[in-house]
Structure 1
Amino acid sequence: MSQQEFWNNKFARDGYLYGLKPNTFLASKIKLLKRDSNLLCLGEGEGRNAIFFAKRGFKVTAIDASDIGLEKLENRAKEENLEIQTCCMDLNDWQDDKKYDVIVASYLHMYKDERAQLFEQIEESLAQDGYFIGEFFSKKQLNYTSGGPKDEDLLYSVDDFKKHFLYCEKDIKEVVTILDEGKGHQGEACVIRVIIQKL
């Protein structure tokens, strides 16, 4: 099953699988960022993070494999009178010459052997002093029932990030938190939180 088929099956249901609120960790780091910056949301799904940042003056682009998820995002953006650029593609196919001041992601489902290429593209796409901020399910999430993949190859370790982004300042932590994100993420979870700044 392709990424598009997988996520379209999830997003085809009524409502918003992960709710309307942004990811709490991403939202909490807005103070690090300059308003009016070019911001890219990776694997953005139904648009909760994109809407949050666009409302606060960022120039937002959102990429996702699901055309159904992005259609929901676009409909919300119209209702809120927001301009958000969307791009429907598998992140394995993402190549971008544009530079972004901020790249954000919450819970990217990327297989372990696909990440090196993605992380290189993220680093390449960041402007100098730009930030990559993300929250990802830890391998320890297999011990919890709050959501996320049950395949360890889709889960992350701190080392996955430490061994990449070599020319960046990195703040990478594994924490246990409580998720309250729609029907999809509810309860105690083990996540990896990443703040990476390109030097």
Structure 2
Amino acid sequence: MSQQEFWNSKFSRDGYLYGLKPNSFIASKVKLFKRAGKILCLGEGEGRNAIFLAKRGFDVTAIDASDIGLSKLEQRAKEEGLNIKTMCLDLNEWEAEEKYDAIVASYLHMYEEDRAKLFENIDESLASGGVFVGEFFSVNQLNFSSGGPKDEKLLYKVEDFKNHYAFSDADIKEQITILDEGKGHQGEASVIRVLLSDN
């Protein structure tokens, strides 16, 4: 099953699987983003982070493999009078072509062997002084029932990030949090939060 088929099966249901509110970690870091800057949302699904950011005056682009998820995003954007650029593609096919002042991601389900290219694309796509903010399920999420993959190969370790960002000032922490994101993410969860500045 392709990424598009997998996520379309989830997003084809009524309502918004992960709710309408943005990811709380991403929302808490908005003050770090350049005013009216360009922001890229990776694996953005039905658009909760993109809508939140566009409402705050940012120039937002959203990438996702699911055309159904993105059509929901586009419908919400139209209703809210927002202009959000969407790109329907698997992140494994994403090529870094533009620079962004910030890149955000919540819960990208990427296999271990695909992450090096993803991290490199993020690095190449950040403008000077740009910020990357991401929240990911850790391997310890297997001990919780609040959402996320049950395949350990799709979950992350702190070392996955520290190995790549060994020489940067990246802030990388694993912690327990309480998720309240629609029907899809509810309850106690083990996450890894990443904050990277490109200085």
Which category of TM-score, normalised to the shorter sequence, fits these structures?
Answer: over 0.9
Alpha-carbon distance in 2 for matches of 1:150, 1:165: 26
Q: Counterpart of 1:113 in structure 2: which amino acid?
A: E
Instruction: State whether residues 136 and 193 of structure 1, in contact with CA within 8 Å, keep that contact through their aligned partners in structure 2.
Output: yes
Matched position secondary structure for 2:171: strand
- TM-score computed with the length of structure 2 as normaliser: 0.98
Q: CA deviation at 1:34?
A: 1.8
Question: What's the offset of the Cα at 1:96?
Answer: 2.4
TM-score (structure 1 length as normaliser): 0.98
Paired residues, number: 199
Question: 1:33 Cα shift?
Answer: 1.2
- Structure 2, unmatched stretches of 5+, are none
SS in 2 for 1:7: helix
SS of residue matched to 1:35: coil
Contact 2:134/2:195 (8 A) holds in 1? yes
Q: Is the 8 A contact 2:136 2:193 kept in 1?
A: yes
- Contact preservation (8 Å) 1:137, 1:148: yes
| 2: CA distance, partners of 1:166 / 1:128 | 19
Q: CA deviation at 1:32?
A: 1.1
Q: Determine the structure 1 residue equivalent to 2:69.
A: 69
Number of the residue aligned with 1:182: 182
Q: Provide the residue aligned with 1:47 in structure 2.
A: 47
Secondary structure of 1:75's partner?
A: helix
Asked if 1:6 is matched to 2:6, the reply is yes
Measured in 2, the distance between the counterparts of 1:54 and 1:165 equals 29
SS in 2 for 1:44: coil
1:19 maps to amino acid: G
Gap runs ≥5 in structure 1: none
Paired residue for 1:90? Answer: 90
Question: After superposition, where does 1:107-122 map in structure 2 within 5 Å?
Answer: 107-122=107-122
The runs of at least 4 consecutive aligned structure 1 residues that moved more than 6 Å come to none
Taking the aligned partners of 1:111 and 1:126, their CA distance within structure 2 comes to 22
